[in-house]
Amino acid sequence: MSEPSFAANPRRDWGGRLRRAIASGQGWAQAMAASPVADTQTMADMAIGVYEDIAGAGPLQRYLDDDVVTDVLLNGCQLWVDRGKGLLRAPLPPGWSEADTRALAVRLAAGCAKRLDQASPVVDGTLGDGSRLHAVLEPVSACGTLISLRAFRSKAFTIEQLRQAGMFDIRMQKVLELLVKKRANCLISGATGTGKTTLLATLVALVEVQQRLLCIEESRELRINHPHVVYLQERRPNVEGAGGVNMSELVRIALRMRPDRLILGECRGGEVADVLTALNTGHEGGWATLHANSAVDVPARLAALGALAGLSPQALNLQAASALDAVIHLERQQGLRRLRSLAVLWRQDGELICQDALTWNDDGQLVPGAALELLRRRLGPALDQALGS
């Protein structure tokens, strides 16, 4: 796909004059009437440009509007865009400066009802289109103003689309569908950018329409194609330290709202203890994601998060082994997001072990692992039927 052109042209120059005219108090019609090039296409171009600069993300908006873009990163005057195959440099308008980047960051933060200045130089927020914003000012950043945008996909992927994109094959698709149908409690693990949130949204969309989904996130990122979804998101305290609602509180709130399925966008802190408790007390079919470099690392990550809630390693091991039925680990190889393994958590000599039940080898073959029998006990004969697809 060709990059958008920001080359200087009369229409773009007139767009700047139009903005100044509107800012000085002239109406749109009056400002347009004075245009020497006010043809239909010019007006359409300028309308888009004005929208991008006032209500959108400026020169970054066109990338957020591209369905294949996942991340847009602006480091001072350097723009990088990820279209699912790694970060590549992208152009900015001629003459773009660090001051422009800072002004854009401040405006985007204000659009999220957040403050970004020297007294508050780091901000997280959600833009009007659902994209996630993270911005950092100097001196916290040593290389100018930083803007990180995680694009919000307007439509969720179907499981068939993920299979066709190469994330898994038809056999694994059947196994994933079985995990949802059998109300297994599942954890999706992987490094940043491996597609954890994408897979989560796709799989929970398969839940029966009669069921009520309660989704808990730090900031909203999930878009689930299901008729009955309730979204809860964390609220940070204000400058006076009041009004905050953290993830652990959201889990407890959600449990009072008659959830058929409890969905945690990402395990990041002590809320993991509340989620494990919920899954161990009759709330089946729960899903969550977790940052981990490999399935083997999942127990250590859970232990670290459990410690934040005051759980001892022994208590965490008991809770996790009892609550979680499967761990789905994702990797990103040569720009392709792939399901690397399906694992099971169990205890061995008091230690929590995450062992593969199914894994893809380097030759692209699906290989049974040592924990396959444990997975078979949970899913029954239907597992063998799925693997025989």
- In whole angstroms, give the CA distance from residue 37 to residue 289: 53
Per-residue b or e along 292-304, where b marks 16 or more CB atoms closer than 10 Å to that residue's CB = beebeebbebbbe
The CATH code of the domain at 159-387 is: 3.40.50.300
Model confidence at 10: pLDDT above 80: no
pLDDT one-digit tens code per residue, 60-85: 999 998 888 989 999 999 999 998 77
Q: For residue 331, give the amino acid letter.
A: E
pLDDT one-digit tens code per residue, 278-320: 999 889 999 999 999 999 999 999 999 999 999 999 999 999 9
Residue ranges of alpha helices (H) inside 143-219 are 159-164, 170-181, 196-204
User: Higher model confidence: residue 66 or residue 362?
Assistant: 66
384: its two tokens: 């063998």
pLDDT of residue 145: 97
Closest CA to 136 of 101, 88, 95: 101
Model confidence at 201: pLDDT above 80: yes
Model confidence at 104: pLDDT above 90: yes
The CATH code of the domain at 62-153 is: 3.30.450.370
pLDDT of residue 312: 93
Model confidence at 46: pLDDT above 60: no
Residues 6+ apart with CB under 8 A from 18: 31, 32, 35, 46, 50
- In whole angstroms, give the CA distance from residue 47 to residue 53: 10
- Which band of pLDDT confidence, cut at 50, 70 and 90, is reported for residue 113? confident
Tokens 């959201």, residue located: 250
Domain boundaries, the chain: 1-55, 62-153, 159-387
- In whole angstroms, give the CA distance from residue 304 to residue 294: 15
